[in-house]
Amino acid sequence: MATDCESLLVALLDEDSEHRWLAAHALGRNRDCNAFETLRAHLADPDAAARMGSMMGLGRLGNPAAISDLHMAARTGASEDERLVAVGALRTIGGHAAIEALLDIANDANQSRILRGNALGSLARVARDGRPGCAELRPALQAADAEVRAAAALVIAVTEPARAVAFLAGAVADADTGEPHRVFLMGELQRIAGVTFGYVGEYGMVDEDPEVRARAIEAMNAWWETSRSAYPAPEDCGNPPP
């Protein structure tokens, strides 16, 4: 496909939805095309692929004026794939307004675990000046889903490391947290608190023997009980997982 502006704008009207997707994606890369309003209009394209191409194009253009539309697409897109692409576009744009939009999605209990987790991962990428803090992420930190709580704790590890230990340790000790997540969370604890877990941290939680895993969890729970007084959760964040 040609990459000059005129050809791309024509391709955006092509009957083939794949051509529309490619054109929208390419227009986002070519900042000389002044395609913002055109891409914005194609968020209503009848084809899902073309809509997602427009979202990616708007993300690459980086114009904050697209955030409201992308926020809406992330909340109400026709499929989870579309909502995930919208979250990615918000992350690409970044800035204060994108943080607000991502926070709204991350804290929304009506959204899926995958979408909330992606919004939280995006927040960890675009966080700035200590935002979002744990007070702003309180709904996610207290979410019913353990993986959402763990992802929220990781955002706090980026924005407020002095406050993150209680939540990271709580997520590690939480029986509902999957084993692969535990290993990653313990790595963050080591980075922030200088904690060395040795065998327990690097191998115990993922050992094939269920008794070894159970003992590793017990050891982590014991560490958590002795450490929580040294790293209390701030009142404005609520309580970490038990």
Question: Closest Cα to residue 122, out of 152, 143, 149?
Answer: 152
Inside any domain, residue 117: no
Q: Are 170 and 80 found together in one domain?
A: no
Asked whether residue 74 falls in the same domain as residue 145, the answer is no
Three-class SS of residue 133?
Answer: coil
CA distance 218 to 186: 15
Place 199 in a pLDDT band, splitting at 50, 70 and 90: very low
pTM score, whole prediction: 0.77
Same domain, 156 and 53: no
Mean pLDDT calculated for residue range 175-197: 72
Is 69 in the same domain as 138? Answer: no
* Structural domain that includes position 56: 1-93
Q: What is the band of 196 on the pLDDT scale with cuts at 50, 70, 90?
A: very low
In a domain, 203, yes or no: yes
CA–CA dist 115, 105 (Å, integer): 8
> pLDDT by residue (tens digit) across 58-70?
999 999 999 999 9
Q: Is the domain of 137 the same as that of 87? A: no
**Count: domains in the chain:** 2
Domain match, 71 and 140 both: no
> Is the domain of 239 the same as that of 144?
yes
Indicate the SS3 state at residue 128.
strand
Tokens representing 200 are: 């327990």
Query: pLDDT per residue over 97-120, tens digit each?
Result: 999 999 999 999 999 999 999 999
- Cβ atoms of residues 176 and 149 within 8 Å: no
Please report whether residue 113 resides in a domain: no
Final residue belonging to a domain, choices 71, 93, 115: 93
Say which CATH number the domain at 85 has.
Answer: 1.25.10.10
